[in-house]
């Protein structure tokens, strides 16, 4: 009786084991396939890194050719040099007595020389944007606005005579001239202009 129970128990255990194996085998296979895919992905990434490393090293050499400077450091140095040369340019024109101003591509004043501010009795801060229009004599204002707007629109030279009302209230006759500053694509990036008093 005991032998029969033992054989029966072994048979049941065998059936259960076979049943569990049939249930678990697909899970094991899926897990193994997943692990294989993960391994293949890691191998692929490793190969990509190996492929990219020499190229990244070459790019690093290209952007840091002078004493291991970063690209950011080089751009900063270029900006500092441009600022310095702009200061020299501005000082040179001021030393020559030119009453000049600069505008952006939309015709808004971005910079005014000391000579210009002295000539029309205004501060540089007052000159910024389109404030200068309000100082044009009322009888000349519409004509000058029309001509300046057309010069900006068609990127052409502005060359007009008009009157300005100084801060003191005195009226001054001037010749205003502005020329487009061409950019890389030959479109105006801004305007360089100057005023001369007509005596």
**Residue 125 within a domain:** yes
Domain extent for 193: 98-197
Closest C-alpha among 54, 182, 164 to residue 99: 164
Q: Which of 4-18, 47-61, 92-106, 163-177 is most confident?
A: 163-177
Contact 121, 168 (CB under 8 A): yes
**Residue 154 within a domain:** yes
**Residue 114 within a domain:** yes
User: What pLDDT score was predicted for residue 13?
Assistant: 45
C-alpha 69/C-alpha 83 separation (Å) is 20
How confident is the model over 123-146, as pLDDT tens digits?
Answer: 888 888 888 888 999 999 999 999
Mean pLDDT for all residues in the chain: 77
Return the higher-pLDDT residue of 163 and 186: 163
Which residues neighbour 181 within 8 Å (Cβ) at sequence distance 6 or greater?
Answer: 188, 189, 190, 191, 192
The structural domain count of the chain equals 1
**Which of helix, strand or coil describes residue 173?**
strand
**Residue 113 within a domain:** yes
**Residue 161 within a domain:** yes
- CATH code of the domain containing 118: 3.30.450.20
Task: Work out the pLDDT band at 2, boundaries 50, 70, 90.
Answer: low
Return the higher-pLDDT residue of 42 and 137: 137
Lowest mean pLDDT among 7-21, 44-58, 96-110, 149-163: 7-21
**Residue 33 within a domain:** no
* Mean predicted confidence (pLDDT) in 83-108: 81
User: What pLDDT score was predicted for residue 49?
Assistant: 57
Q: What are the two backbone dihedrals, phi and then psi, of residue 173, each rounded to the nearest 5 degrees?
A: -85, 135
How confident is the model over 50-79, as pLDDT tens digits?
Answer: 556 666 666 555 555 555 566 777 778 777
Closest C-alpha among 110, 109, 126 to residue 118: 126
User: What pLDDT score was predicted for residue 197?
Assistant: 92
User: What pLDDT score was predicted for residue 62?
Assistant: 56
**Residue 156 within a domain:** yes
Q: What are the two backbone dihedrals, phi and then psi, of residue 94, each rounded to the nearest 5 degrees?
A: -65, -40
Q: Which long-range contacts (CB under 8 A, 24 or more apart) does 168-176 make?
A: 168/121, 171/137, 172/119, 172/120, 172/197, 173/197, 173/198, 174/198, 176/144
**Residue 152 within a domain:** yes
């Amino acid at each position: 009786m005991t032998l029969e129970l033992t054989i029966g128990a072994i048979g049941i255990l065998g059936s259960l084991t076979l049943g569990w194996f049939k249930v678990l085998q697909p899970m094991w296979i899926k897990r193994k396939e997943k692990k294989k895919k993960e391994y293949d992905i890691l191998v692929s990434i490793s190969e990509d890194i190996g492929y990219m490393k020499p190229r990244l090293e070459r790019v690093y050499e290209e952007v840091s050719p002078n004493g291991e400077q970063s690209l950011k450091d080089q751009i900063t140095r270029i900006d500092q040099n441009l600022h310095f040369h702009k200061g020299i340019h501005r000082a040179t024109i001021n030393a020559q007595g030119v009453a000049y101003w600069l505008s952006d591509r939309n015709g808004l004043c971005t910079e005014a020389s000391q000579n210009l501010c002295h000539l029309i009795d205004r501060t540089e801060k007052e000159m910024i944007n389109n404030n200068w229009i309000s100082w044009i004599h009322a009888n000349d204002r519409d004509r000058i606005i029309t001509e300046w707007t057309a010069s900006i629109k068609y990127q052409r030279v502005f060359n007009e005579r008009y009157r300005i009302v100084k801060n003191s209230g005195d009226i001054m006759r001037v010749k205003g001239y502005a020329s487009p500053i061409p950019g890389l694509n030959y479109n105006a990036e801004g305007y360089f202009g100057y005023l001369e008093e007509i005596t």
